[in-house]
């Protein structure tokens, strides 16, 4: 498989061009895709996009994702057997689920219409993460742990804390009586949402701030998510630290 048409391969050469090429870092958005690839068992090759070197701003990376965000992929076996470049973690998750027919809610009765409805319900919750959980939790992290702490006006932090609590409440209600977002079926919706919950309570150190103890269903599902072997493998792909550091 020849991927030389993609300039990104000049900076990150493909040692296995027949495999999905993943350009990423283990951020909440990055690990969504590495976890999905591990869950699906798809052959892939991971390339570390180092933020410390501004790799995401290089011409090679921008040629694949002009929005300069990780993750991005090239699937050498895309639709029609042609290579497919793709960015945006939610789009990549949906593509991988469609490609394999897995990580979607199944229909136990074999009803095609019901299966289609569940498919779009899964997409609905994936969009819930993309449009709500990710942006709001990210802003919470900025104002609580990073440079936002220096801002005297506390209204931005208060806003994002309140909105994060509200979103956790939506998640808590959805998980009442359900093992996963879609019931018994583990899907891309879970893979999208729980890396952000993990980061919010862990890396951002905001569990007490948002009152995580008030959301036992969300905590229970997060623990189950983190216990999955594929999740554990995907959490550090590509490695957070550059080789030799």
HEC-encoded secondary structure of 217-233 = HHHHHHHHHHCCHHHHH
- Average pLDDT of the residues of the chain: 94
Does 73 have pLDDT greater than 90?
yes
Higher-confidence residue of 34 and 156: namely 34
The token duo for 131 is: 């449009």
Lateral strand order in the sheet of 20-24: 44-48, 20-24, 72-75, 84-87
pLDDT above 90 covers a percentage of the chain that reads: 87
Element (H, E) at 92: helix 89-100
Residue 242 makes CB contacts below 8 A (sequence gap 6+) with 48, 50, 52
Specify the range with the lowest mean pLDDT, choosing from 6-20, 29-43, 145-159, 202-216.
Answer: 145-159
Instruction: Identify the helix (H) or strand (E) that includes residue 30.
Output: helix 28-40
Q: Is the pLDDT of residue 126 over 70?
A: yes
Q: How confident is the model at residue 244 (pLDDT cuts 50, 70, 90)?
A: low
- CATH code of the domain made up of 112-228: 1.20.1050.10
Q: Which of 163, 133, 160, 162 is CA-nearest to residue 146?
A: 160
Contact 146, 193 (CB under 8 A): no
pLDDT, tens only, 131-180? 999 999 999 999 999 877 778 888 989 999 999 999 999 999 999 999 99
**Over residues 49-74, mean pLDDT:** 96
Inform me whether the pLDDT recorded for 245 exceeds 60: no
User: So what's the pLDDT on residue 153?
Assistant: 82
Could you tell me how far CA 14 lies from the centroid of its own chain?
Answer: 23
| Strand-pair category, 44-48 with 72-75 | unpaired
**Which pLDDT score is estimated for 77?**
96
- In whole angstroms, how far apart are CA 218 and each of 47, 96, 223? 32, 25, 9
Is the pLDDT score of 196 beyond 90?
yes
The span from the first CA to the last CA of the chain, in angstroms, equals 33
Question: Among residues of the chain, what percentage have pLDDT more than 70?
Answer: 98
Q: Where are the domains of the chain?
A: 8-104, 112-228
Instruction: Give the DSSP letter of residue 129.
Output: I
Q: If one looks up domain 8-104 in CATH, what number appears? A: 3.40.30.10
pLDDT for position 243: 62
């Amino acid at each position: 498989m020849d991927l030389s048409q993609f300039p990104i391969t000049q900076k990150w050469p493909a040692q296995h061009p027949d495999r999905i090429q993943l350009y990423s870092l283990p951020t909440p958005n990055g690990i969504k895709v590495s976890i999905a690839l591990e869950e699906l068992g798809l052959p892939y090759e991971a390339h570390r996009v180092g933020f410390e070197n501004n790799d995401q701003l290089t011409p090679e990376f921008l040629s694949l994702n002009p929005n300069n965000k990780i993750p991005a992929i090239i699937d050498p076996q895309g639709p029609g057997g042609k290579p497919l470049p793709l960015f945006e973690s939610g789009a990549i998750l949906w593509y991988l689920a469609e490609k394999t027919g897995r990580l979607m809610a199944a229909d136990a009765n074999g009803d095609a219409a019901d299966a289609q409805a569940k498919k779009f319900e899964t997409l609905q919750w994936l969009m819930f993460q993309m449009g709500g959980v990710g942006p709001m939790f990210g802003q919470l992290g900025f104002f609580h742990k990073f440079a936002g702490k220096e801002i005297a006006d506390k209204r931005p932090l208060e806003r994002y804390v309140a909105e994060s609590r509200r979103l956790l409440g939506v998640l808590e209600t959805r998980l009442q009586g359900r093992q996963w977002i879609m019931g018994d079926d583990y899907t891309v919706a879970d893979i999208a949402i729980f890396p952000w919950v993990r980061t919010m309570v862990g890396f951002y150190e905001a569990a007490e701030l948002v009152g995580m103890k008030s959301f036992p269903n969300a905590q229970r599902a997060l623990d189950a998510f983190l216990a999955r072997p594929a999740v554990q493998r995907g959490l550090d792909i590509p490695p957070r630290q550059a080789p030799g550091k």
